[in-house]
Chains A and B, each alone.
Chain A
């Protein structure tokens, strides 16, 4: 197993399947009256959040706590970070406190990579979203959710729609889903597809309707209305007309297809309320699955890399 989870591309197919299978086992914990396992007792997991993200933070927090880890939440607001403390000093502080894993959300692409490779800190680094780079645990929970509905993802067709250029979710999903054998189509206006997307292991399309008929999954990405101020598209209305998922478009999907969204949604922009709340929508389920997948990641990264000292600590405990 890998030591850090920085990018979906770090995972082999075996790694990815192992995480998903482990998550499947751990999901059952959530349905027990006592939702807790002793696995990571005595280990410390730090949630280091430089960007506001209540959803992802509480998902990781719940995951770590259900594995009995000690959880420290470190958010940029109200901490020394807002007083100008550097990433390096923050990392050295966490190292001094003995963090076994650091879950980091940062607005700057590559910040988790820096933490993992700059020798400031020894713990496992888990990328919880960095800039417009990646968000690998989101991709894992998306894949997990798809697998529960569709079975093996090999040969399944996944259409991802929206602001691919700025989306870490799209990058992580495109990579992970192709590792798992799915056929991914990215749909966006040309302005919102990155330069060089031709080299990604995906198909692309500028037009949504044609990418729906055979899709097993359609995943809508959040699109910020302010993007129109940078001329990425003319208006929210035009975006919504051309790339939004409404009931009419949803009807084009095959019977078994599911609708996903990483949240938070802009209802009325990329997805209508009718679609978001429809029977095909698995958006709430994604949140539930997020905890199980993050438990699996923490479990595999931390127990996989157990050194003698921490094994001793566990035995004592």
Chain B
């Protein structure tokens, strides 16, 4: 059995301690531990966080194995400090049956780099017309609790209501991709001054906010759980703040890129910056940062969306929406939120591990760093800094918007149930 002792780690960036990990569990956490023959890991100056949990990852398998596979996606996740990712349902075939979600779940387990918690589709084929067999997916070995048509909005109000009601039977949550389809037909970028100048069809904030407003009301009406994916506008933050003030059971996520990047980048017409929802104004960025800091937005989720280069090396309107995010998430959150003193490291643990695990109902993740807890741990060097390179990735795809940018921090080690998936910043060999 494996044993590691993480020497002199800064637990949640606050207190110095050694962490002893044995047989997948944290067995001791104190100063100057006698660790026997446990493998020593020098964690001096490194921040120890609970393994990160992503509520929003596109692993592309099955169907687009040219862009990403469960193996490469979970390797990228491990390099980013994640120990659990939620795999979105928009694969081919769509994850709308127990069979597909079990396959994806099993692939994650077999590869062993990161647990994969499949998200089930809300509607058959993401078609927005007929409910998928949500109960079958919930009862499958994958124990699906989060359902989403992500990539598409469940725009039909009745269907959304029914889905919210139906998942109450098994503690499920509907994760809504809030995008009013008629208001965003052909939309290419945030609607504002710049879309008018660039001649790109605008994607108005109201297209997101109208759905968020409708859905928080529906959620309150039927007394069910709503999660809002990738909140990107000030208006959405304000609606969520209001919904939470009413005590409604609504949660929300923001992506790292919406915390850092603005629509000004679209001036380059480089589709590396094309994403859904689109990059917004600097005022929206300020609003989602404030929302994350004050708890209106509950968590960070990457929306890691791999695409082959040919879908990005082209003209803007022909390009695919989406950007990579798993390997840069923690660095971007540090840059946007911690270095700006809006979040502490224990807040980061909350918004990137504890809370997403609670929303996704994954019990073995998002646990505190304490004796007796599962040994899902990240060691992070917040003092490091590096210029990001698009080819420095475990992903099969290269569509990172941060290439050439200086990003702080580096994931030094990731432990999944006591086993290192990343050590010394490199992917570890994981026994199958």
Q: Which A residues contact B (CB, under 8 angstroms)?
A: 86-88, 106-111, 113-114, 117-118, 130-134, 168, 171, 194-197, 199-200
Contacts and interface: CB of A to CB of B under 8 A. Distances in A.
B316 A109 contact: yes
A108 B313 contact: no
Given A108-B317, A110-B315, A113-B269, A196 B199 contact: no
B269 A171 contact: no
B315 A196 contact: no
28 contacts: A87-B314, A88-B310, A109-B188, A109-B198, A109-B199, A109-B317, A110-B198, A110-B315, A111-B315, A111-B316, A113-B269, A114-B270, A114-B314, A114-B315, A117-B269, A118-B270, A132-B199, A132-B200, A133-B198, A133-B199, A194-B202, A195-B192, A195-B196, A195-B202, A195-B204, A196-B192, A197-B196, A200-B197
B294 to A, nearest CB: 29
Contacts of A168: 199
Contacts of B316: 108-111, 114
A106 B315 contact: yes
A159 to B, nearest CB: 19
Contacts of A108: 315-318
A175 B197 CA distance: 10
Contacts of B201: 132
B310 A86 contact: yes
A97 to B, nearest CB: 20
B194 interface: yes
B268 interface: yes
Nearest to B191: A195
A87 B196 contact: no
Contact of B197 (A107, A118, A131, A171): A171
Interface residues of B, number: 24
B195 A196 contact: yes
The 6 closest A-B pairs by CB, nearest first: A110-B269, A133-B199, A194-B196, A196-B193, A108-B315, A109-B199
Contacts of A87: 314-315, 318
A11 to B, nearest CB: 15
Given A86-B313, A131-B317, A196 B197 contact: yes
Nearest to A118: B313
Nearest to B204: A195
Interface in B286-336: 310, 313-318
Given A113-B269, A114-B269, A195 B193 contact: yes
Given A194-B196, A196-B196, 14 more contacts: A108-B315, A108-B317, A109-B199, A110-B199, A111-B269, A111-B315, A114-B269, A114-B270, A114-B314, A117-B270, A130-B199, A131-B199, A131-B200, A132-B199
Contacts, number: 77
A118 to B, nearest CB: 7
B57 to A, nearest CB: 28
B189 to A, nearest CB: 10
Contacts of A117: 268-270
Contacts of A133: 198-200
Contacts of A107: 317
B199 A171 contact: yes
A132 B202 CA distance: 12
Nearest to A106: B315
Nearest to A113: B269
Contacts of B191: 195
Contacts of A132: 199-201
A96 to B, nearest CB: 17
Nearest to B269: A110
Contacts of B199: 109-110, 130-134, 168, 171
A199 B202 CA distance: 16
Interface string B175-211: 0000000000000100111111111111010000000
B313 to A, nearest CB: 5
Nearest to B316: A110
B405 to A, nearest CB: 18
Contact of B200 (A86, A110, A200): A110
Contacts of A194: 195-196, 202
A121 to B, nearest CB: 13
B318 A196 contact: no
B206 to A, nearest CB: 11
Contacts of B202: 194-195
A87 B201 CA distance: 21
Nearest to B192: A196
Interface in B192-248: 192-202, 204
Nearest to A6: B269
Contacts of B310: 86, 88
A107 B200 CA distance: 11
A227 to B, nearest CB: 13
A130 B318 CA distance: 13
A86 B315 CA distance: 9
A200 B269 CA distance: 20
A178 to B, nearest CB: 13
Nearest to B271: A114
Contacts of B315: 87, 106, 108, 110-111, 114
Contacts of B197: 171, 196, 200
A191 to B, nearest CB: 13
A106 B317 CA distance: 11
Interface string B145-164: 00000000000000000000
